[in-house]
Amino acid sequence: MFSKMKWYFTFIFSFLSIIGVMYLIHRQLHHHVFQSEKTLAEVKTYFRNVVGSYILNETVTYETSEGTFTVYQGGITTQSNDKRTYYDFYADANNGEIIDIIERTS
């Protein structure tokens, strides 16, 4: 049989374990990051004649006049009239919203 002290430590250990698991489940459910491939597919819908695209799977920090965001960075290449145009884009990693699209010059 367990002594009172062993029951006490068993209870405390079990209680803390349950609290820890509940915290991890809560964190998983409420702190999701948009999948980068899903974000890339969304950005491609903004363009016609896409011939190339990429997205970095790691998030980066991007600063605008509206604030600082955790974003995915990527690029799109389009072709129109035998001319290729290159764009960089930044999409919010938390909700997939497109923050900025910049046409590259060269």
Please indicate, yes or no, whether the overall pTM of this predicted structure exceeds 0.85.
no
pLDDT at 106 over 70: no
pLDDT tens track for 22-54 = 998 887 776 556 678 888 888 899 898 999 999
Kindly give, in sequence order, each residue whose CB lies less than 8 Å from that of residue 30, ignoring residues fewer than 6 positions away: none
> Domain coordinates of the chain in residue numbers?
1-31, 36-103
Helices (H) and strands (E) in the chain, counts: 2, 5
Q: Dump pLDDT digits (tens) for 48-90.
A: 899 999 998 888 899 988 889 999 899 999 998 889 999 999 9
Contacts of 47 (CB under 8 A, 6+ apart): 76, 78, 87
Under 8 Å between Cβ of 67 and 97? no
CATH for 36-103 is: 3.10.450
